[in-house]
Amino acid sequence: MTMIAATATAAIALSTAMMIVATFISKKMNEDREKSSPFECGFDPKNSARLPFSSRFFLIAVIFMIFDVEIALLLPMPITMMTSNMKAWMTISSLFLMILIIGLYHEWNQGSLEWSN
């Protein structure tokens, strides 16, 4: 048990030391205005280099990620059906699918799935 604790302590100490060294190495010592500005043929930029962030795109990306995780959870369901109690499997699967359907209905009702407005 002491061997595991010593190994864990050494791993934590080593990773902390590496992060501290990386922080000191990666710091920019001189912040030059010309180096930090976007390059546009030697002239000052006409517009901001940053584009406005679309919160609509972010919402659609989050919904996509949620459905992606749901698919990953649905794929092993038929395989687990063979090795588990049928009544428990049906109850858990039905509950999971009902939660997904209620979530989809809520997103649809809120208008989150509308692509164009």
Q: Provide the residue-wise pLDDT of the chain in tens; the chain has 117 residues.
A: 889 999 999 999 999 999 998 888 876 555 666 666 666 566 666 666 667 777 778 888 888 888 888 888 888 888 888 888 889 889 988 999 899 889 889 888 988 777 666
Q: For residue 93, how far is the Cα from the chain centroid?
A: 26
Does residue 9 belong to any structural domain of this protein?
yes
- The SS3 of residue 53 is coil
Can you give the residue range of the structural domain that contains 24?
2-110
Q: φ, ψ for residue 11 (rounded to 5)?
A: -65, -40
Number of domains in the chain: 1
CATH code, domain carrying 101:
1.20.58
Query: What does pTM read for this prediction?
Result: 0.48
- Between helix 86-110 and helix 55-74 the angle, nearest 10°, is 170
Give the residue carrying structure tokens 């649905």.
Answer: 74
Does residue 116 belong to any structural domain of this protein?
no
Does residue 115 belong to any structural domain of this protein?
no
